[in-house]
Structure 1
């Protein structure tokens, strides 16, 4: 970008940039700059020559501009630009006569670029602040309140069950301690088996102490024993303020007749007065929040949870929980016979190596690519640790593998789990159906009990990251040495099945599993690779091709159904027009939608009749499962183990806010870092994430263009941590769209490492959410509505305002390796990160 001291001469640069390569450039330059000093003339000429230098950079504006990005071919290279950038690019080519640095910089600095928008907004804000400061005293400026950005912290899988209703009821009671001393206390709520008390802080008590309670005010209204107290035990003590403490107490054994009579009395009393004094609904309110945010996140997670079973000392992947976002990862590990090779990729040897690492650090990078030969698909994979031990093969594997279209990099996390976590459910007071649910899960014991671990596979590869690996130099003659990373073709493979997670059916119609031959043609009537159907509905079809295609969303295709045509003379099943709605990353699986004309659609009519006459014989896609309740059980186990960083974007009017952060069984490194800035355990201070107004500039603009079924958009977040001796560390965030290009990004990271700061890098997946699954939380909302309808409405408003869900995963190790940071510096950064996180968790 042109230096600030030359900005005032941009008009001269615009006049001369198209003439730099012409013979009369020097003459024109001398005329236009005759009044400038020699030093300024020299700088201007150097700048013009710099801008006219040939450029071989790839332009990739995906996630960087407020516009729809599409491919653009120029001189054999594929760029990704929106219409605005294409216009600037083509004008630059006309001005310079070729692709130069000047063209590249103009394209990267269009008005709809998020980085440019952010800079202009910041400049305007600073200008406004400076203008407002005139006439204000120093005291007035320094006393302005500091705004903190707090987000609700949601703990997945944390449901507080109550077997009985608890009524908010405040009366004065008298407590009797074991030493005979008596004190006055105040109830805050009461149930049949317990209550909460407030009393003076100076009274010395301990958990598990026993005490007696006289309900003096109730004795005056009702016939109660005035001589013998009701016996309780202290369960929990908490301090409310400097003068008051709160006790949570439970009833002791009720053997005496007086105790049993009191039980019946309290039960009748609560039933008669619960609408007058209101029930304590805290547990139900928390359950709606937790369950509501869980059902937004799990169907949109990009991580693929693979469940590892252990039988007789041997381990193997048994199943994977698939979602809309991670299904492509499961399909990636299927061979030409649609068999999962995950049992080979996640071998016992690799799992054992991860298990030997300290808990919380059990993760590695998994590099993969495939090779097709003679109709068979061969898989190659290597972990970060395996490449480190094989001298000279690291660059060979990474460089050669990245040249393949099938190249993938996965973040592999090894997590503990247990079948006990499968029975997570919330129980309302008096709800006996929960017992039935627990009994139903016993039918799954044989399946779930062996599941001991979860391997979370997260695809962190992108086109831009792959280009860095492709730059690695390697000995092409040594490619055969990579055979040691190949997985052998086996006649039999241990079965690993996909279990789809489902909360709410957002489709307008059911899809039915059916495999039949499909012949495809593109819009140019070119024949596409052989294909077969995976499922169908009257208005659409999912098709899988034997080889990857170049089709993309929005393309039109025509298809023939030769096998189905044999059974139907009534419908013409040839040249049926469909629109491509989605294509897998492998380019082999696509979702098609019927394109109707004035005469209707023969395929739609045929499938409607087929379904009508054969509904009992057809299998609904993703509806039939091997064990009823298996998907919810695996979902419960996953949310209790996950270590990612889910966050939620809410829409409030025209603005978007990040109002909730979730956490699974293990805190992410970002959880620990942000917790240091927070003083409230139930909230996280997310101010570092919002410094560049990412929510309303980048994220909101992206969500406005997305539909619920669209794949997530990727971002990278760079977090610079500067430790302080006596205070909390300083956190500074930078998003990838703030940098002009990859070299500039690498220079920033190299400088950060040189300054001995600590780097954390995160990959972000941002998805558009659909409507909440009301059925999933209907029971709790109905219960709350009976006693506090205003609270139920507030909960519904909060959940219905969620428009986006994000998932954030730590990819620092992969970034440093990708950018070819020297091993010594990578090790130093690893030690610094461990030190920072250890301090944060203390």
Structure 2
């Protein structure tokens, strides 16, 4: 973005940008500017006056009553302020909805985000004057997929023992808890020196005073852990493998069984597992990323399964063929597969940017994809992006690859196996184990379309279009992929289903052949073979030509639909069934058709022969994930705060930053950046008004990392709303940070949560309630307080690649980041 001194000049030039004598005005007004400044002004004017392809929906975003506003086939929802800006923008720019009009609407004074920014700025100034400290909620870190399991019940019980280390002097201790195969003892001093796996003998002198137990007959144990706290040492012990003492085993078993109601079973591990699993169940259905489970086969990665959620079904919908088969696996051809696998073998980050789109022609859907590196090498970036970005199917992904560990596919519930519970999960059958064994790698595709769109070219050379054939996917699928959806609580009112079926549409006097892409009881999405020129009309009549061949007596001709929106190329339309009386019969048939064919329509892949298979895929994802979920709470006093952060197994710069030790960086500083200030108020104000069905709110965070004069680490944060993202603003932020520091860039996708999925944690809840109802109440209260979850992941590599920084500057930035972390 040009500096503030150039802003008045830009405001002048954008008013005449569409005039024939624009160049004359430009030369006159910029006569005193140097070359780079002229270039920036010209680029900014061009950006502001370019057509905007976004659909505005200001409901729950502004302080005003939003009403429908139709313009060129798009349905916007605007309040009076936004409508006035919109209409003035149309007059100013000859009927074109421009980027300038869009940004002025989003920056209106009644926008909640703008209001909160002003309010927070005023509060900061007030607090600075009055020297008032702000609130400081600390967030808790937990490890994704961590469900500590104990095969035995451990009872809290205190009794005197004597511990005799091998080759050392015996000392007195008391037990902290005890189980069939282990022990934890407390010693009231810390000057103890033990080694892991050191053997000790334990004499149960306290038991011998009350029970018929020989005090002179020791039991062999091995030290597993020593922890010092409050001037005491806590030593964890496990029974030596070769130690066989049936008399002692029988005594401990009877003792725990008889006294556990009185002295209470230690259920700390169950509580931890319950909280972690429940939070993951909040998070996993809200993911927008596509997760592919891959099998390595002859130097190529074959996509076996795709994990689906409520938030990623729209992205996955683009990848169904005309025969309702998933084609997303063809993204990873042999060359790309081998490149990614080789990077993993060299322990290098395996993260790439891939751009995709599809077109429909003569009853066939053709898919195209290209890596950013491939487009740069072939010099086809402008042609590919300018052509692709006009398609509604255009998507850009950050694709990363990681190996899976089959040992983590089965995770027992955090309840000892000998406890009989109705909700007990049994280990996987051989069929499920065999199916999961075919998965070698996990690939995640994070949708970064909003970050890449500003980089896309506007125009292209039509003579180069033929060269895009190099990026078309083969007509036959290399392998069949299956969509698998986890069994979460179903909170959707009306579900869309994938359906590929030929149709014919009429828009005024224009008739086009096309294809149905997906269908619901009252909705439809279609793609026509050729664009419908001119302004799209408000209604469209659809004839389901392929379905009508089978259902000849059903009212499937000229069904009236209302156009909700369309893509810029006028080839893809979202339609809603009108409420006309003539549509009652077609509507009833479509509802009946979906109900009857539900098992055949690829909305959810239910593999009933593999009971528990979805659970295995879920566990593999949690073990190999690289994203970081953020959980937002509302307290009893209605204070909102970021309370928990899930740390993944795969290490990224973002997860490392969150785990920085306090000796390197003040945790209160990081907490204040995420849990206070304008950004946090923007997030929480959106959560307050958002509905669970709303699309996620996406924010780009750029952490600017450096050192001060005392060589102490410094950290600052700049945030960007991806809907109003300006490449110039981002570039300025990054280049300033790289002058003497480095950056970490993070994409955050915030969603409102649904209700807790208690069914998934029923076993842990039942067991915990038997011994510690107060813990159950505490967990339930915590879960009821969760109002939002954000999926976050690093886009540092993508951002530096997108800004086309030199190799030397990027290398310097990575080295500084390594030193800073």
TM-score by length of 1: 0.78
The aligned residue for residue 504 of structure 1 is 489
Which of 376, 394, 397 pairs up with 1:410?
A: 397
The aligned residue for residue 415 of structure 2 is 428
Which of 624, 628, 636 pairs up with 1:645?
A: 628
The aligned residue for residue 276 of structure 1 is 262
The aligned residue for residue 27 of structure 2 is none
Written as runs of structure 1 = structure 2, the 5 A alignment for 1:92-241 is: 107=105, 109-113=107-111, 116-129=114-127, 132=130, 148-179=136-167, 181-199=169-187, 200-241=189-230
Q: List runs of 5+ in structure 1 lacking aligned partners.
A: 11-17, 19-51, 134-143
- Please state how far the C-alpha of 1:403 moved relative to its aligned partner: 4.9
The aligned residue for residue 487 of structure 1 is 472
Distance 1:631 1:815, change over 3 A: same
- For residue 650 of structure 2, give the secondary structure of its aligned residue in structure 1: coil
- Please state how far the C-alpha of 1:287 moved relative to its aligned partner: 0.8
Which of 78, 83, 107 pairs up with 1:86?
A: 83
Does the Cα contact within 8 Å between 2:322 and 2:500 map onto a contact in 1?
Answer: no
Distance 1:695 1:183, change over 3 A: same
Does the Cα contact within 8 Å between 1:61 and 1:82 map onto a contact in 2?
Answer: no
Distance 1:94 1:408, change over 3 A: closer
Does the Cα contact within 8 Å between 1:719 and 1:731 map onto a contact in 2?
Answer: yes
- Please state how far the C-alpha of 1:561 moved relative to its aligned partner: 6.8
Which of 56, 75, 85 pairs up with 2:49?
A: 56
What is the distance in 1 between the residues matched to 2:110 and 2:198?
Answer: 66
Matched, 1:352 2:338: yes
- Give CA-to-partner distance per residue, 1:516-558, whole Å, 9 cap, x none: 7777778x8997865558676xx656665556999xxxx9887
- Please state how far the C-alpha of 1:428 moved relative to its aligned partner: 0.5
The aligned residue for residue 764 of structure 2 is 780
What is the distance in 1 between the residues matched to 2:630 and 2:371?
Answer: 29
Which of 687, 696, 701 pairs up with 1:712?
A: 696
What is the distance in 2 between the residues matched to 1:238 and 1:170?
Answer: 18
- Please state how far the C-alpha of 1:366 moved relative to its aligned partner: 0.8
Does the Cα contact within 8 Å between 1:168 and 1:280 map onto a contact in 2?
Answer: yes
- For residue 226 of structure 2, give the secondary structure of its aligned residue in structure 1: strand
What is the distance in 2 between the residues matched to 1:584 and 1:74?
Answer: 13
What is the distance in 2 between the residues matched to 1:711 and 1:740?
Answer: 16
Matched, 1:66 2:61: yes
Quick check: 80-89 or 765-774, which moved more? Answer: 80-89
Does the Cα contact within 8 Å between 1:645 and 1:668 map onto a contact in 2?
Answer: no
Which of 809, 832, 835 pairs up with 2:793?
A: 809
- For residue 302 of structure 2, give the secondary structure of its aligned residue in structure 1: strand
The aligned residue for residue 648 of structure 2 is 664
Give the root-mean-square deviation of aligned CA atoms: 4.9
What is the distance in 2 between the residues matched to 1:651 and 1:271?
Answer: 41
Which of 750, 769, 782 pairs up with 1:798?
A: 782
The aligned residue for residue 33 of structure 2 is none
What is the distance in 1 between the residues matched to 2:761 and 2:399?
Answer: 32
Does the Cα contact within 8 Å between 2:351 and 2:398 map onto a contact in 1?
Answer: yes
Distance 1:336 1:69, change over 3 A: farther
Distance 1:446 1:525, change over 3 A: farther
Written as runs of structure 1 = structure 2, the 5 A alignment for 1:317-356 is: 317-356=303-342
TM-score by length of 2: 0.79
Matched, 1:368 2:351: no
Quick check: 765-774 or 260-269, which moved more? Answer: 260-269
- Please state how far the C-alpha of 1:350 moved relative to its aligned partner: 0.8
What is the distance in 2 between the residues matched to 1:586 and 1:443?
Answer: 47
Does the Cα contact within 8 Å between 1:305 and 1:321 map onto a contact in 2?
Answer: yes
- Give CA-to-partner distance per residue, 1:386-431, whole Å, 9 cap, x none: 33444x3444444444455543221010111133222123240244
Distance 1:828 1:650, change over 3 A: same
What is the distance in 1 between the residues matched to 2:767 and 2:303?
Answer: 40
Does the Cα contact within 8 Å between 1:573 and 1:602 map onto a contact in 2?
Answer: no
Q: List runs of 5+ in structure 2 lacking aligned partners.
A: 9-14, 16-44, 533-537
Distance 1:181 1:108, change over 3 A: closer
Matched, 1:310 2:296: yes
What is the distance in 2 between the residues matched to 1:608 and 1:93?
Answer: 41
May I ask how many residue pairs the two structures share in their alignment?
770
- For residue 302 of structure 1, give the secondary structure of its aligned residue in structure 2: coil
What is the distance in 2 between the residues matched to 1:633 and 1:492?
Answer: 26
Does the Cα contact within 8 Å between 2:454 and 2:727 map onto a contact in 1?
Answer: no
What is the distance in 1 between the residues matched to 2:193 and 2:176?
Answer: 20
Which of 424, 442, 452 pairs up with 2:440?
A: 452
Distance 1:285 1:738, change over 3 A: same
What is the distance in 2 between the residues matched to 1:448 and 1:788?
Answer: 36
Higher-Rg member (1/2) = 1
The aligned residue for residue 829 of structure 1 is 810
